[in-house]
Amino acid sequence: MTYYTPAPPDPKAPPVRINLLSDTQTRPTSGMREAIARAEVGDEQIGDDPTVNLLCERVADLLGKEAAVFLPSGTMCNVTATLVHCRPGDEILAHESAHIIAREGGAHAALGGFQITPLKGADGQFTPDALRAALHPRSRYQPPQTVVSVEQTANIGGGTIWKKADLDEVVQIARSNGMATHMDGARLLNACVATGINARDMAAGWDSAWIDFSKGLGAPVGAAIAGSRDFIDEVWRWKQRLGGSMRQAGICAAACVYALDHHVDRLAEDHANARALARDLSQIQGIEVQQPETNLVFFKPDGAGVSGDDMVRGLRRRGVLLAMMDGRIRACTHLDVTAGMIEETVGLVRQIVRGA
């Protein structure tokens, strides 16, 4: 029995017609495919890929940082950041449901020897007061508290958006206690579109921040992390150690540049579809729905007499793909999900609740 290898799709299952599993499920649009085909390339490992270089310049400017580097994944952004900011035995403070704790396979402990102290808080966010309460005096009896990390948006919290005032206060607390700050920005641009706050302002004061291109922005692969030139220089060292060289990566970077040009403002459509899904699901008696702030909708159908697992299985039999996460069903809207698909999904949920 395998525990870690992804299982192949069930050949007996019907084709997936509506994919609400994740915004990582997006397929490149025709325009993005054309940009990929036209991409100028070189060897990014020696700094010779013009499209990668352009992307890094764009991301550094977008986030208001001195430099950026293109990496294969958001997880590698998080891991390289902590490997640069910390030393073995250091302590990182993050929300208890943060991606670096719940979704990265213990990489920070395995590769860096760091411990992550989980902070409690509603909707995937800790408060500035919770951070203050977790601080301890520097002592040889306790690990050095080196980094404070936030996730914008907070995935398991429901795609919730950290308020700018709270982000600024967390930065002030961290700085006054000699700590670095790291922003996991996997869905940062969702937060920016929803609030009208630009990415430069949202990331202001954070020593490192990154954006993912393979989620709502719809690119097939890649993320880019930004910070000071010295920080990015050290990230490059860890990129090499972790096997992050991508060679003619302009093929991938071209999709990301296209996404920045064409797919940011349209995130508002995903948010609108998420609101419509939440509104209509909440009208079904017994279904408990967390109202979305961005493109993630978490709900529980137990009160309607159907378990979450049974609902997921029932929808899959009808060609709709989503999954359980943290004890609830998560539906994720993205550029391959239309308003009509949302309406159809709600109709299918009604059928399952009725036992049809």
The tens digit of pLDDT for each residue in 62-98 reads 999 999 999 999 999 999 999 999 999 999 999 999 9
As a whole-number percent, the residues of the chain with pLDDT over 70 amount to: 100
58, 181, 335 from 18: Cα distances, Å:
33, 38, 12
Alpha-carbon dihedral angle through residues 300, 301, 304, 310, given to the nearest 10 degrees:
-150
How much is the pLDDT for 2?
84
Distance of CA 82 to the CA centre of its chain: 17
Residue ranges in the chain whose pLDDT is less than 50: none
Lookup: tokens for 229:
């030139």
User: Coil, helix or strand for 325?
Assistant: strand
> Which residue shows structure tokens 């992390």?
225
